[in-house]
Structure 1
Amino acid sequence: MWIFGYGSLIWRPDFEHVEHRDGYLEGWTRKFYQGSTDHRGVPGAPGRVVTLLREPQARVWGRAYRIAPARANEIMARLDHREKGGYERHQVNVYCRSGESVRDALVYVATRENPEWAGPAPVDEIARQIYRSHGPSGPNREYLLELAASLRKMEAHDPHVFAIEHALRELIGEEF
C-alpha cells in the first residue's frame, strides 16, 4: 500500500514506512485553500494548509510512502484522524523520478464543500493569515517554510507555495 503526501506528509510523515519515493501527480495543483482549526490554527483563528485541485496540464510534486501491510490498518486510522478536517481519500498514480510509477496510491484531498474550506485569496492575504496562525501542531509559518524547503530539496518548483513563502518572509523580515 502506498500513500502520497504533498503537504506536511513530505517533511513530517509521522508514520512507519518501508520506503519512500519522490514523484508527482498529473492533472492536479497544490493550493493553500484549506483552513486548519485542528493543527495549524484554532477555531475562530484558522491557519491555512494545502489541498489539491484538479487542473489539466498541471503537475504536483510530493512523496510516496510504501507502508507494510501488517501496519496498514493502524497507519490508516492515524492518517484518517490527522486528515479529519475536511479531507477525502482518493486513489492516484504517482510518477517517480526514477521513471517508475506507483499505481493506486492513496492521497487525501480537501473538498470545496467541507466546513474548513478557506478558498482562494490574494497571496499577501494568505501569507498574513499564515504569519499570525498557530495551532496544536505548531505555528502555521513552520508548515509553509518546511514545505517550501522540502520542495526545493526535491527540486520541485511550485509557484503558489514559493510566492506565499516570499510574502511571508517579507512579513517576518527575512531575506532569501
Structure 2
Amino acid sequence: MSFDTVAHNRSRQQFNGVSSVWLFGYGSLIYKVDFPFLERRPATIEDWARRFWQGSHDHRGTPEAPGRVVTLVSQPGATCKGMAYRVSPDVFEHLDVREKNGYLRFSTTMTFDDGSNAEGLVYIATEDNAAFLGPASTLDIASQIARSSGPSGPNSEYLLKLADALRTLGDHDPHVFELESHLR
C-alpha cells in the first residue's frame, strides 16, 4: 500500500444518515486536537498495544529521514488507553489528510471509564503500508526519534507530548515511557 491513504479511507466507511461517529485517538490525537468535536471521553480498546513502529515522512520526519510515530499492533490481552471523540462525519475530511501516511480507518469497540461501550473508528498503520518501520530496540527507536524532525516539528516533541498526555490520562505505557527515559 502507498504512503497516501486518503482515497482508500474515504471508500472504507460510508456516513450516509449518520450525525456523529466516535473516533479513538491513541497518539497525537490525544494531545493535538485540531478538529471540532461534540464530546470527548477517556476510553480503552482491548487487544491492541501502542508502538512507535510507523514511519513519519510527512509530519515528524522527511522522506529521506523518517521519524517514528505510534501505531497499534495486535496483542491479545493488551489494553490501550486513549481519548475518544464524538465527531461529525465531515471531520474525517481533515483527519484523513492528517493521518494519510499509511493509516487506515478500522472499526473498534471502545470502553469508557464508566464501563459503557461504543463502536467507533480508529486509524491504524498496518505492517503492509509503505511507511511501516516495524520493531527495533527501544534504544534504536529513541535514537531515531532524537535525530528526526519534519514539518510538524521535532520527533522528540511528539514523544514527550504523548508521554505527558498519557500521564494526564493516568495511563502507564511501558513502551512510551521507556523511550522517553532513553530520550531524556
Q: TM (normalized to structure 1)?
A: 0.91
**Structure 2 unaligned blocks of 5 or more:** 1-20
- What CA distance in whole angstroms lies between the structure 2 residues aligned with 1:121 and 1:13? 29
CA positional deviation for 1:122: 0.5
Matched residue, 2:165: 150
Partner residue of 2:48? 28
Scaled by the length of structure 2, the TM-score of the pair is 0.87
- 3-state DSSP class of the match of 1:92? strand
Aligned to 2:73: 53
Q: Which runs of 5+ in 1 are unaligned?
A: 170-176
- What letter is aligned with 2:182? A
Separation in structure 1 between the aligned mates of residue 67 and residue 38 of structure 2, nearest angstrom: 31
CA distance in 1, matches of 2:38, 2:48: 26
1:125 alignment partner in structure 2: 140
Q: Map Cα deviations across residues 61-114 of structure 1 (whole Å, 9 max, x no partner).
A: 00000113xxx22x10111111111111101011111222222x1100001011
Equivalent pairs counted in the alignment come to 164
1:64 aligns with 2:84: yes
Aligned to 1:174: none
Deviations 1:111-144 (CA, angstroms, capped at 9, x unpaired)? 1011101100000110011011111111111100
Cα distance in structure 1, aligned partners of 2:115 and 2:102: 33
Q: Which amino acid aligns with 1:116?
A: A
Alignment-derived partner of residue 105 in structure 2: 89
